Amino acid sequence: MKYQTFNEKIIRLVGGKDNVQAVVHCMTRLRFTLKDRSKAQTEELKDLDGVIDVVSNNVAYQVIIGTHVNEVHGELISMLGLTSVTEENQEKAKKNPLKAVMDLLSETMTPVIEPIIASGLLAGFLSLFSITGLISADSPTYQLLDSIRSAVFFFLPIFIAMSCAKRLKASPYLAVALAAVLVSSSINDVAGLSIFGIKLPQMMYANSFIPIILAVWFMGQLTVFLNKYVPKFLQYFLNPLLIMVICLPVTLLVFGPIGIWIGDGIGWFFEVLHNTFGSWIVVMLYAALQPFLIMLGAGNFMMPLALNFVNKMGYDPIFLAAATISDIAVSGAMLGYFLRAKDAKQKQLFGTVSFSALMGVTEPAIYGAFIKFRRPFIAVMIGGGLGGLFAGLMNVKTYSIVWGLMGLPSYADNQDISNLVFMIISVVIGFVGAAIAAFVLGIPQEEQAITKNELEAEAKNQAVDLRKVPLGSVVEGKIVPLAQIKDQAFSTGALGKGIGIIPTSDQVVAPISGEVSAVFPTKHAIGLKTEQGVEVLIHMGIDTVELDGQYFDTIVKQGDKVTKGQLLSTVDFDGIKKAGYDPTVIVVITNTMDYLDVIPAAQEDIFSEDECLTVIL
């Protein structure tokens, strides 16, 4: 581990493992809950290389180490054998049940996508090789390679169990054991089974995912219950046995049937939709609107639905084909902008993101160009919608869980050549339609004007721009010198030079264009990094990490691209004050030592059009 030696010294100086009850972190510091603070060697800890300062107060024992605290904390809790409380706090912050379920499904599917894509692509190429006669479907080579595909999908419940166990507070190994039992030849699709005299329905657990997610959720709840009531000296031996003996019958009697009913319900809904309107409308809408879903962080929501279709019907009639058409339409839209653009830098941007979208990675295009120029969304709605409409009308089927240009061969599975041809036509329609629409719609005039003005300003002020980077105001209010901030880590300048603002507005905006480098789970702090390398920390309030996200509505996430003046968070500062916390917004340049100076604004009051800091390069 990168910080193992550093963490070993911290553990020793806070009084050892046995003295640490809990440890969480915010943007810059580790917050220890110690059983006995007198055992901590505070002065020695302050002198430790890598520690900026130590603050001990009624709130917590705080070790300030800087903005890389997240990496240090991750290794520290592993060495201490503790659970990440920040993860638990993040769970508490998700109060919307529907959002929590969607987040669970999305985050569960993300790590499982890797083997699924591998098996899906392999199935596509094997089908293509079989059609062209390169490999016979009856040959040992074909059957051995095809076993990769069949094994991944047969044992899908095991992958799902491993992926979601930790998030649902269950042991990953017990969750995998339960999944392995469900897909074993003794239970999977076996008729006539019974337990405790109760007859069990014949169930196919292989290839499924809903029953095991429900079962692992129950396992997590049972684990918490047993850890609370079973004596500690018996837990190691007794808890695993009780968990398995209780979870298996409950899964077979309750969660298995519920999971199958949910799957059948999803199938029934889309069957009604198909019989009423035709599935073409869903394919068309998803192909047209997928970029919006990706922008909202819901890009993976279709994966469980596609899996359910493949398990029930042997193919997906909607989502995977629509996703492929949409991705390639994004590439077409960026090609249209590439052909239309005159500025060399813009051409480079559009060409790069067009190629990445063609390969199935659309996030660079969506966050790098779509959000800024807006009209490409319309181009994809036109091109992707037309391609999706054709695919829906031709009843294009996706036989494997795969999408993107490389997955096209899979559409010829089961010797269905016409299906492959219709899919290729759909993709071409989406690509060409979006490219033409983007070229005709063009780059907004205001963006062209901005580019022109920027080039003129660069020509006139190149020498000045090379010497300084101005930061706009993050919030309107009254300026407070950093030395007066009631937090030693900031007031001493240990975390870098900066400024404090007592807010009179509830909107916190980006002081400069760049990338969101960090958003703390409790939403009270945001990190930004500019193209010049300036690292900005925006800390909203003092000790507001304890509010666990209350009063904060932060709308950006790590990795987002933001522009100067863009809204980052809406904060109820009055609520923060009523809760007894200091609402001062602190802005510091955490890599101050890399620059000649950081100069704060001189005026008392600051407004949205003002500058709060100037970084001298």
What dihedral angle (degrees, nearest 10) is formed by the CA atoms of 528, 532, 534, 536?
-20
The alpha carbon dihedral of 498, 504, 505, 506 has a sign of positive
> 189-194: which pairs have CB atoms within 8 A and are 24 or more residues apart?
193/252
Per the annotation, the verdict on 164 as an active-site residue is no
**Which of 467, 473, 505, 461 shows the shortest CA–CA distance to 600?**
473
Task: Label residues 565-580 b or e (16+ Cβ within 10 Å = b).
Answer: eeebbebebeebeeee
End-to-end CA distance of the chain, in Å?
Answer: 34
The 8-class DSSP code of residue 169 comes to: T
254 class by beta-carbon count within 10 Å (0-12 exposed, 13-18 middle, 19+ buried): middle
Please tell me which residue in 26, 164, 247, 612 is annotated as part of the active site: 26
Which residue stretches of 296-343 are H helix? 302-313, 319-340
Rounded to whole angstroms, how far apart are CA atoms 210 and 274?
23
Rounded to whole angstroms, how far apart are CA atoms 476 and 574?
14
DSSP 238-272: HHHHHHHHHHHHHIIIIIHHHHHHHHHHHHHHHHH
**Which of 379, 361, 357, 390 shows the shortest CA–CA distance to 432?**
379
95 class by beta-carbon count within 10 Å (0-12 exposed, 13-18 middle, 19+ buried): exposed
Residue 106's φ and ψ, nearest 5 degrees, are -65, -45
**Which of 557, 111, 567, 116 shows the shortest CA–CA distance to 297?**
557
Residue 32's φ and ψ, nearest 5 degrees, are -90, 140
Provide the token pair at 223.
Answer: 């684990």
Q: Which active-site residues does the annotation give?
A: 26
